[in-house]
A and B are shown apart, each in its own frame.
Chain A
Amino acid sequence: MKSYKAQRRLSLSLRYVLLAVLVVVWLFPIVWIILASLSYNDTGFVSTIWPEKFTLSNYTGMLLNKQYPFLDWMRNTLLVSTVSMILSTFITISVAYTLSRLRFAFRKKFLQIALILGMFPGFMSMIALYYILKSFNMLNLAGLTMVYVGGAGLSFYIAKGFFDTIPRSIDEAAEMDGATRWQVFLHIGLPLSKPMIVYTALTTFIAPWVDFIFSGIILSSSGNPKNYTIAYGLYNMLHNAKGTSTTFFTQFIAGCVMIAVPITILFVIMQKFYVNGITAGADKG
């Protein structure tokens, strides 16, 4: 019996060691990114793990940079992501609810079409989106928001999977009592879907902070960096004129760290909802 206990203990400590090693491997590059953001550098390339010289000037430089107005980017992105979050969440939840709880002739077709549309690579639509927005004179943050919101109607899978798990008998009981479907949606569907709303809201909120492709295509032609969102702004810092990547590289890293921190925190909060959503969705296929 004693040897069994020892074996258990050995197995447990081995597992702890393995986990610790894995965590170190996983976090090592992240720690390096943070170290790099604190290092003094004038060559546009970080070749060491440990900075030769620590400095906070990258952070202050980024915040005070006139060519690359970081604070304006923050404000723009916050605006876009908040509006997009509110509208997209509403759209996604109502589409998911409709497709899951309501029965109507067009339903099957809608699901099939959505499935097909989802298989076209999103990049295909970039040129067209640019011209559509241009013809309505919307090559700006409002137009970008509309692009994010416009796609929300197709990202209902996880939320639909969630609604599918709620028994329909609840709705039927309410309808027996004379509630309209709108009332059922408002008073039963929405309160029940709280975790799903949080999850959808967080994902749609995060999206504008990490998208540098669509935002670049829509916002770049203004040539005014004050109008950029954060992801494109930072990306543009590295890929603009010759020599700029040298000058601004460490400021870029500092900027990245500054936005990665809040997003990471949001994501860590979100992970529970994420898991619930994706497993509920996966169960039903």
Chain B
Amino acid sequence: MKLWQKFALGSTALLSATVLAACGNSGSGSSSSSSGKNGVSGSVKLWVDNTQVSSYKSIVKDFNKKYPDVKVKVTQSPNGSSNAKTDVAKDPSKAADVFEVPNDQLGQMASAGYINPLSPDATKTIKQDNVDSAVKGVTWKNKLYAFPFAMQAQTLYYNKSKLSAEDVKDWDTMTAKSVVATDFTVPYNVYPIFLSAGTYMYGKSGEDLKGTNVNTQEGVNAMEWYAAQKNNKGVMQTSSVLNQLKSGKAGAILDGPWDAVNIKKLLGKNFGVAPYPTITIGGKKVQMQAFLGIETFAVNSHTATKNQKAAATLAQYITNKASQLVIYKDQGQIPVDKSAQQTATFKKNPVAVAVKTMSQPGHSTLMPKMPEIATLWDQAAPLINGAYSGSIKPADYMTKLTSFHNAVSKAN
């Protein structure tokens, strides 16, 4: 920062007659030197998803009752938390001090140095309070990197007038009776079929670069499954699942909890939600899997040292049990706090229960955090789509899977 301030001054002197004459401090916020109550002070900028701004403003109000000396500015993430990686990478020093980010981006952000490991104290609290999958979700190379506050896994939403609770337990019966709609071009929706088929994504740990064993018979089985869906009259490719569910052309869709409120509105009393069904891959009935994602708040490593403590404190506060429940109530985000999952509002909510079921091992796989996953997302989409649309012929499955495996196993 010093470098370019000097520069700004220097070049301004030379170009003094020009329009470029404006120059100012690019410091990251004001500081309050006195350390107040609790010994925490500073000023912190917080990025959250745009629909959640008002909820977090009220949470921050409570936070300020406890930590009056921390000045917090809540704004929306420029392109949403799902693009946190690129938004922060664009210019880490301009990004927020605390920002919302899905757990699969933590690995790359950690290895690029955009975020710090959490302090031993915070690590202890997180491990104590939250469910195991959430803790695993924020762990990268044996260190915790972010504060988890919600989990996301896709579930099956269905129209009760078309399908019964019994029907939706198996893909084959369900698609024989009605139509399931999903988007085969989004790997987040359909890549887990590979996992259901018995392959691993970056190994069991999710941190093994060479562990994506799709170039096997299991991988081929998954490819055959995709290809079979193209001819299945009960499966529909669409870019807008909600529209198809509403119009009645689809009886069930695969979607995440973020759309639950909308779907409830569309279906009214016919609203049904269930964990994923079983599917038949390679002649065997297996549980269809989904990705388990953990929504987290991370602290920017570019945050000024004097604000680090305040930022970490804020991140911890807005992910504690009470805050998780506020966000659950306002936004339908499924909490990961152990005791929050025991509350009545959680247990009575079918969506929350379905997501919780999906979060069990066997039903879902935690999204890996490997930086190389960027390549995987890029390459998996055309691969799966190729199998689905038939542009990849069955004879070529193995070759394509092998080149896919080689591409994603390369530390680029």
Residues of chain A whose beta carbon lies under 8 Å from any beta carbon of chain B = 42-45, 47, 67, 130-131, 134-139, 142, 146, 217, 220-225, 236, 239-244, 246-247
Judge whether B111 is part of the interface by a CB distance below 8 angstroms. no
- Docked Cα-Cα span, A242 to B100, in Å, equals 13
The number of residues on chain B lying at the interface, defined by a beta carbon within 8 Å of a beta carbon of chain A, is 43
**B239 CB, min distance to chain A CBs, angstroms:** 7
Given that A47-B247, A134-B26, A137-B26 are contacting pairs, would A240 and B239 also be in contact in the complex, using a CB cutoff of 8 Å?
no
Contact present for A223 and B47 (CB under 8 Å): yes
* A-B pairs with beta carbons under 8 A, tally: 107
Given that A42-B265, A130-B90, A134-B94 are contacting pairs, would A243 and B24 also be in contact in the complex, using a CB cutoff of 8 Å?
no
Further 11 A-B residue pairs, CB within 8 A, beyond A131-B91, A136-B20, A241-B80: A42-B246, A43-B262, A45-B242, A47-B247, A220-B78, A220-B87, A221-B91, A223-B45, A239-B79, A239-B80, A243-B262
Residues of B within 8 A of A42 (CB): 242, 246, 262, 265-266
Contact present for A241 and B81 (CB under 8 Å): yes
- Docked Cα-Cα span, A6 to B4, in Å, equals 79
Contact present for B243 and A43 (CB under 8 Å): yes
**A69 CB, min distance to chain B CBs, angstroms:** 12
Judge whether B7 is part of the interface by a CB distance below 8 angstroms. yes
Contact present for B76 and A240 (CB under 8 Å): yes
Given that A43-B266, A136-B20 are contacting pairs, would A223 and B242 also be in contact in the complex, using a CB cutoff of 8 Å?
no
Contact present for A134 and B91 (CB under 8 Å): yes
Contact present for A240 and B79 (CB under 8 Å): yes
Residue A241 contacts which of B49, B240, B246 (CB distance < 8 angstroms)? B49
Residues of B within 8 A of A239 (CB): 79-80
Residues of B within 8 A of A134 (CB): 26, 91, 94
Write out, one digit per residue, whether chain B residues 42-56 have a CB within 8 A of any chain A CB (1) or not (0): 000101011101000
Write out, one digit per residue, whether chain B residues 240-278 have a CB within 8 A of any chain A CB (1) or not (0): 101101110000000010110010011000000000000
Residues of A within 8 A of B25 (CB): 137
Residues of A within 8 A of B76 (CB): 67, 223-225, 240
Judge whether B96 is part of the interface by a CB distance below 8 angstroms. yes
Given that A42-B266, A136-B24, A241-B49 are contacting pairs, would A221 and B95 also be in contact in the complex, using a CB cutoff of 8 Å?
yes
Residue A244 contacts which of B19, B50, B94, B246 (CB distance < 8 angstroms)? B50
Judge whether B199 is part of the interface by a CB distance below 8 angstroms. no
Given that A240-B80, A243-B259, A244-B51 are contacting pairs, would A43 and B90 also be in contact in the complex, using a CB cutoff of 8 Å?
no
Contact present for B240 and A45 (CB under 8 Å): yes
- Docked Cα-Cα span, A45 to B259, in Å, equals 14
Contact present for A138 and B22 (CB under 8 Å): yes
Residue B262 contacts which of A67, A224, A246 (CB distance < 8 angstroms)? A246
- Docked Cα-Cα span, A221 to B51, in Å, equals 17
Contact present for B24 and A223 (CB under 8 Å): no
Contact present for A246 and B242 (CB under 8 Å): yes
**A150 CB, min distance to chain B CBs, angstroms:** 9
Given that A43-B242, A45-B242 are contacting pairs, would A247 and B26 also be in contact in the complex, using a CB cutoff of 8 Å?
no
* A-contacting residues, B125-167, CB 8 Å: none
**B325 CB, min distance to chain A CBs, angstroms:** 20
